[in-house]
Copies of this chain bind each other. A is one copy, B any other.
Amino acid sequence: MNFSSKLLEDAVNEFGKLPGIGQKTALRLVLHLLNKDQSEVAQFGNTLIKLKSEIKNCVVCHNISDFDTCSICAAVKREKEIICVVEDTRDVMAIENTNQYFGVYHVLGGLISPMDGVGPSDLNIETLVERVKEADVKEIILALSANMEGDTTLFYLHKKLKDFNIPITTIARGIAFGGELEYADEVTLGRSIVTRVPYENTLMK
């Protein structure tokens, strides 16, 4: 692109570095910001700078937090003896949005993926084992993605945790609500028959 302004070019390049944003979209976003007030743009820039410099990871569960301990770990109402293990903050938010879970979390910060050079030592697994060892944990829920990396991590975590004799569960896999059997893939449909549940258990409380 032919920029008449270096300042414009720099800003477009910065936006263009973001995932899924090409040069044309970046230009549109920058021109949008240029039409805003100076104070609004300053706020945008400063919010990002502040975010990166001030944000922390919870010392207990590693979730993104404004304080040393995140709001979930600090809440009196949450059941501390149930730990849900997830990949990242996005998963915490997704589960929180369901309003169906009242325990606490443990954020691994990724999944074991030898292809990407991510091993168990790169994840927050040791701290999970420490938590299980020290606290009175009644259940560990492994809520990981249903793919190769998720399964590998599941297998590794199970091996690490099984000697504590605490129930280890995983989230249910099956046909999504609103999903039609006809269009479901064979693996999901097959597994959903094998792991069928009593009808009474499926009624929302």
Contact = CB atoms under 8 A, between A and B. Distances in A.
B97 A1 contact: yes
Given A34-B52, A42-B53, A46-B49, 7 more contacts: A2-B97, A5-B65, A10-B51, A18-B33, A30-B51, A38-B52, A45-B47
A156 to B, nearest CB: 23
Interface in A133-164: none
Interface of A: 1-8, 10-11, 14, 17-21, 25, 27-34, 36, 38, 41-55, 63-66, 70-72, 88-90, 92-93, 96-97
Contacts of A10: 47, 50-51
A48 B13 CA distance: 11
Given A10-B51, A45-B48, A49-B41, A32 B18 contact: yes
A143 B5 CA distance: 21
Contact of A52 (B28, B33, B96): B33
Q: Chain A interface mostly helix, strand, loop or mixed?
A: helix
A7 B93 CA distance: 15
A34 B18 contact: no
Contacts of A30: 51
Contact of A45 (B5, B27, B29, B49): B49
